[in-house]
């Protein structure tokens, strides 16, 4: 595994639970709507459940984002619904919100505000370039993969998760 990749223990900031997230953003109707309207890919969810059980594995997920981000508003509720559909004893989801853009940055400077964003936004292991950044780790806390903004290699978050698990099984 590449030493530049984050590990679960590299997370230093206080994170939110799914319930904290929904309480924090209860005024944003699109978050609730995105959660409720998302149709899980149950065949893929079943394959993820099977892999976790067969390999006695756990899936640890960190999503870094912000309330102002449209992609976060779209993808984080889907991610929560996916995590909710998996065995709670095998999945841990942490949400790290509060990323803020530095509107006064000069060319070549980091996009994120150092004074107002969590330190993970600047940790070279996390390489937060866009949000949401969704990181996946195994039971031992080793990095499995990440999704930047939206799934790109596969059409859904579920398929990305399945791919990460298969690759590291």
Mean pLDDT, the chain, integer: 94
Ranges of residues in the chain with a pLDDT under 70 are 1-3
Measured CA distances, 129 to 69, 120, 126, 141 (Å): 13, 11, 9, 22
Domain-located, residue 58: yes
| Reported pTM | 0.94
Q: In whole angstroms, what is the distance from residue 12 CA to residue 125 CA?
A: 13
The domain that holds 131 is classified in CATH as 3.40.30.10
Any idea which residue has 């031992």 for tokens? 140
Count: domains in the chain: 1
Give the pLDDT of residue 1.
Answer: 41
Q: In whole angstroms, what is the distance from residue 25 CA to residue 142 CA?
A: 30
Domain-located, residue 95: yes
**Domain, as residue range, for 116:** 8-167
Domain-located, residue 28: yes
Any idea which residue has 């790290």 for tokens? 96
Give the pLDDT of residue 127.
Answer: 84
- 168 burial class (0-12, 13-18, 19+ CB within 10 angstroms)? middle
Q: In whole angstroms, what is the distance from residue 164 CA to residue 117 CA?
A: 28
Contact 28, 143 (CB under 8 A): no
Give the pLDDT of residue 169.
Answer: 84
Domain-located, residue 49: yes
Q: Which residues contact 104 (CB under 8 A, 6 or more apart)?
A: none
- Report how far Cα 56 is from the mean position of its chain's Cα atoms: 22
Give the pLDDT of residue 115.
Answer: 87
Give the pLDDT of residue 108.
Answer: 84
Give the pLDDT of residue 54.
Answer: 96
């Amino acid at each position: 595994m590449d030493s530049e990749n984050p590990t679960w223990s590299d997370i230093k900031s206080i994170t939110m639970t799914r319930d904290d997230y929904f309480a924090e953003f209860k005024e944003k109707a699109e978050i609730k709507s995105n959660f409720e309207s998302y149709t899980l890919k149950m065949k893929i969810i079943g394959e993820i459940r099977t892999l976790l059980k067969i390999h006695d594995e756990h899936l640890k997920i960190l999503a870094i984002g912000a309330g102002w981000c449209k992609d976060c508003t779209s993808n984080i509720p889907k991610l929560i619904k996916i995590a909710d559909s998996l065995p709670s004893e095998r999945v841990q989801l942490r949400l790290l919100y509060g990323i803020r853009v530095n509107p006064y940055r000069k060319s070549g400077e980091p996009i994120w505000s150092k004074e107002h964003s969590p330190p993970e936004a600047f940790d070279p292991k996390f390489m937060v370039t866009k949000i949401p950044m969704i990181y996946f780790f195994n039971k031992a806390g080793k990095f499995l993969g990440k999704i930047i903004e939206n799934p790109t290699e596969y059409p859904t978050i579920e398929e990305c998760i399945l791919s990460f698990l298969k690759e590291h099984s």
